[in-house]
Amino acid sequence: MTQAPNVYDAEPIPEAARAEIDRLLQSGDLFRYTAPQDAPVALLEREFAEMMGSRYALAVSSCSAALFLSLKALNLPKGARVLLPGFTFAAVPSAVVHADCQPVLAEVGPNFRVDLADFAAKLPDVDAVIISHMRGHTSDMDAIMALCDAANIPVIEDAAHSLGTVWKGRKVGTIGKIGCFSFQSYKLVNAGEGGILITDDADLVARAVIMSGAYEHNWKKNMGLAESFVKWQNMLPLYNMRMQNLSAAVIRPQLGEVARRVRDGRAGHDRVAAALNLSTWLDVPPPLEGEQRAPDSIQFNLVDMSDEDVARFTEAAAARGVKVQVFGMSDDNARAFWNWRFIEGLPELPQTRAMLMRACDVRLPARLTEDELDYISSALVGAAEAAKGAAAA
């Protein structure tokens, strides 16, 4: 192979989506609450909950909307403090701000996971926790749940990019009180945009359903929880973050693809990780014990490289056709906490900053062939050699 593979193109949407989309276009039935029952969005919610082994699911317009509604459904007081990792996507602290809460950032270690000492130190001062399993990296959920349960602090799992990841036999997103997932195009299931939240808590999901925009008696079409719904009807504002039927029609046939995408994505990731770890200059942190990853990208650290070496490395990789993003080295990266200037009293996180200055991100969609994966590995290892060779010369 002499040409770098395209890592941005999505997989085709399964053929089965077409007939359903055609039916919806024919009838114009795009709103989830028009059909008396079994609208595509309602069916998706049932299928997704069943796939995850959760009682309830609520499909919404994005994972950010799911996070926002989760915080609102927890009935937190205005100004409540919400602890989240300092390494996540800007939409997560944004959802906290949008929900009238104050983000508190926990340090993240060189293995991309929450620093438990810093987390434990900050926990006594917060009202809720969001754990972002960033790029599918699962933090130690046993330790986190033990600390949060002891302090009676609810945990929302931001599993936007972690569908299919398993922690000690449990599906990520089912460990905390609420799990949130994204269907944006760069995630494992692609609807362009979309999100879903899952929980076993009836009263909490009823609040989220109403606030998502189930006005009047539309909640009857979500799930049979009349007691909770009657209690909360007209007591909560409507934010109108519903999913529409076309999105559900695109998502439902992809649920059957999840297991294959997880298997292939993991195999591809592990193949590239093994190759990169042979290089002195590249380090892919191993999974935590008990974590089964579901990656569609790879993150690795540059070892013993100066800022100039890092710049030479990314240039050399680009010259080989592989775009590497060093999280902290671009001007406006949405995953670099110092760019979240909308947070009042934005803290400094030295450990997270040091990680972001050397942590690299390369997309590895599950559809890549072994040849394509090997091309990427060689390009990255070659680029590291070139960067360090130039430094030595």
Ligand X SMILES: *Cc1c(COP(=O)(O)O)cnc(C)c1O
CB of 116 to ligand X, least distance (A): 19
For the chain, what's the residue count?
Answer: 393
Please tell me whether residue 106 binds ligand X under the rule CB under 6 A. no
Q: How far is CA 164 from CA 10, 170, 188, 321, in A?
A: 18, 10, 9, 29
Please tell me whether residue 132 binds ligand X under the rule CB under 6 A. yes
Question: Which one, of 105, 109, 158, lies nearest residue 133 by Cα?
Answer: 158
Q: Sheet holding 178-182: strands in order across?
A: 56-60, 195-199, 178-182, 155-158, 128-132, 81-85, 102-106
Structural tokens at position 355: 């990680």
CB of 98 to ligand X, least distance (A): 12
Please tell me whether residue 88 binds ligand X under the rule CB under 6 A. yes
Please tell me whether residue 157 binds ligand X under the rule CB under 6 A. no
Nearer to ligand X, 186 or 338 (CB): 186
Please tell me whether residue 62 binds ligand X under the rule CB under 6 A. yes
Nearer to ligand X, 54 or 247 (CB): 247
Query: Which DSSP category does 35 fall into?
Result: S
Pair 39, 32: CB distance under 8 Å: yes
Q: Which of 184, 245, 247, 352 binds ligand X (CB under 6 A)?
A: 184
Q: How far is CA 288 from CA 112, 299, 304, 354, in A?
A: 11, 15, 24, 21
CA 286 – CA 291 distance, rounded (Å): 10
Nearer to ligand X, 134 or 298 (CB): 134
Structural tokens at position 159: 């599993």
Q: Which of 69, 126, 128, 134 binds ligand X (CB under 6 A)?
A: 134
Please tell me whether residue 71 binds ligand X under the rule CB under 6 A. no
Please tell me whether residue 108 binds ligand X under the rule CB under 6 A. no
Q: Which of 115, 158, 291, 309 binds ligand X (CB under 6 A)?
A: 158
Contacts 24+ apart (CB under 8 A), 36-41: 36/221, 37/221, 39/221, 39/245, 39/248, 40/245, 40/248, 40/249, 40/252, 41/242, 41/243, 41/244, 41/245, 41/247, 41/248
Nearer to ligand X, 182 or 377 (CB): 182
Nearer to ligand X, 13 or 160 (CB): 160
Q: Which of 68, 89, 119, 375 binds ligand X (CB under 6 A)?
A: 89
In degrees, rounded to 5, the angle at the alpha carbon of residue 33 between the alpha carbons of residues 29 and 34 is: 40
Element (H, E) at 180: strand 178-182
Structural tokens at position 185: 């195009």
Binding mask 15-54 for ligand X (x = CB under 6 A): ----------------------------------------
Strands 282-283 and 297-302 come out as: antiparallel
Nearer to ligand X, 58 or 134 (CB): 134
Count of helix runs (H) and strand runs (E) in the chain: 13, 14
**How many residues at the interface with ligand X, by CB under 6 A?**
15
Nearer to ligand X, 164 or 219 (CB): 164
Query: Which DSSP category does 114 fall into?
Result: B
Structural tokens at position 179: 């799990």
Q: Which of 39, 57, 63, 129 binds ligand X (CB under 6 A)?
A: 63
Q: Sheet holding 359-363: strands in order across?
A: 282-283, 297-302, 359-363, 325-326
Considering only the stretches 1-9, 87-95, 214-222, 316-324, report the one whose residues sit in contact with ligand X under the rule CB under 6 A.
87-95
Please tell me whether residue 182 binds ligand X under the rule CB under 6 A. yes
CA 223 – CA 209 distance, rounded (Å): 9
Considering only the stretches 4-12, 61-69, 98-106, 230-238, report the one whose residues sit in contact with ligand X under the rule CB under 6 A.
61-69
Nearer to ligand X, 336 or 379 (CB): 336
Please tell me whether residue 296 binds ligand X under the rule CB under 6 A. no
Please tell me whether residue 64 binds ligand X under the rule CB under 6 A. yes
Nearer to ligand X, 119 or 219 (CB): 119
Please tell me whether residue 139 binds ligand X under the rule CB under 6 A. no
CB of 67 to ligand X, least distance (A): 7
CB of 189 to ligand X, least distance (A): 11
What does the binding site for ligand X look like in residue numbers (CB under 6 A)? 62-64, 88-89, 91-92, 132, 134, 158, 160-161, 182, 184, 195
